[in-house]
Amino acid sequence: MISKLLDKLIPLQTEEERLEEVKAELAEAGYPVTNYKSGGIFYMLLRVWLRIEYELTALARRMLVNGYVSSADNVDWLDLRAGDYGKARKQAVKTQGNLTLTRSNTATAVKIAKGYLFKSSPAANGEELRYIATNDCTFSIGADTLLVPIEAELPGSTYNVPAGKITHSLIHLETVDTITNAEGWITREGADIEDIESLRRRTLGAFAELATHPTRNKYKSVCEAVEGVLYVQVDDQHPRGQGTIDIIVTSPIGGASEALLDEVLAAAQTIAGPYDNLLAKSSQTVEQDIAVTILLPSNLSEDGIAARAEQVIRELFVISSGRALNELYLSDIVVAVKGEIPTAKSVRVTEPAADLLLATDQVIVLGSVTITIERA
């Protein structure tokens, strides 16, 4: 659509097409120079001019595309345009949470100082993520468990690791037996810098904030501006009684932490009507196990096949604004795995047994992944 409109507004011909057109125009005008042989002085000057014309036309087309919010294809250009609407790109956020340390020898006190470094177990690609203790903590005499508040070394959703992944300390901790991040360890989810489509959607929705009274779209626009929020749904159909409004928040981990919900509620309160009863609540996460059977030729090695297939499936379940979070289609899994492993004769999804289409306030997250290799 954009390409057709550009061709209509600012046509872009190839240099060869334009050369033939210019030659015809010069001949019609009776121009005395007729030597267009490669290497000729006039020919070379003409080619230089045509190249400059081509580059300037291409630049004009690009500037036209990026001059409008709906068509901009570069996030930096869109960021500039969003500023005209009072919007700015949301920045990345660091993951915050609590580590659980345990010990059996409780005879002495042990201090965990602010700044101590912890790291995750190596991922499939060998990457290790580091976290920093944000407060001084002390194992008191007789205490066998300690919660240590930590923050990711760098911002980004990569640090929102599952439970049981942060298990090492870069500094020896006397008497400490185990280190782990328990279920629900995240107190403030990390987030990546806002992508172009999310910024576009928020910018185009900016006019909703001009409403005199708070509307569904106005609440949505204001709440989605909170850093760390991936998506917001607003239920204004009196879900808890007359005058009640529920704001359902989805974050990069699916559900939203209490800290994020508090920020969203505070933003919503700034525009709330005098009789609006607001509640910010998290999207409901639904864990789904995936089992896939891959049929390989009898003479093909299966080394690394299962790991590659699992990685592809995990990438499919990454929570982002571009994914339909409440939908799961088995064909998407088959196509993704077959694309990564083209030598496979077939790919079958055995769990779940059918496509999933859940309520809009639910988010499908990945549970266990089972890869079975069979031979033709």
| The pLDDT value given to residue 125 | 66
pLDDT tens digits, 32-61: 887 778 878 888 888 899 999 999 999 999
CB 12 within 8 A of CB 65: no
Q: What is the pTM of this model?
A: 0.81
Q: CA-CA distance, 295 to 262, in Å (whole number)?
A: 49
Does pLDDT of 281 surpass 90? yes
pLDDT tens digits, 304-358: 899 899 999 999 998 887 788 999 999 999 999 999 999 899 999 999 999 999 9
List, as own/partner pairs, every contact residues 8-14 make where C-beta atoms lie below 8 angstroms and the sequence separation is at least 24, other chains included: 9/64, 10/57, 10/60, 10/61, 10/64, 11/57, 12/54, 12/57, 12/58, 12/61, 13/54, 14/54
What does pLDDT average to over the chain?
91
pLDDT bucket at 27, cuts 50 / 70 / 90: confident
pLDDT tens digits, 228-272: 999 999 999 999 999 999 999 999 999 999 999 999 999 999 999
- What does the block give as tokens for 74? 């570069």
| The pLDDT value given to residue 339 | 93
| The pLDDT value given to residue 36 | 79
Q: CA-CA distance, 63 to 45, in Å (whole number)?
A: 27
Q: CA-CA distance, 256 to 248, in Å (whole number)?
A: 9
In the chain, % of residues over pLDDT 90: 73
Q: What is the arithmetic mean of pLDDT over 112-128?
A: 86
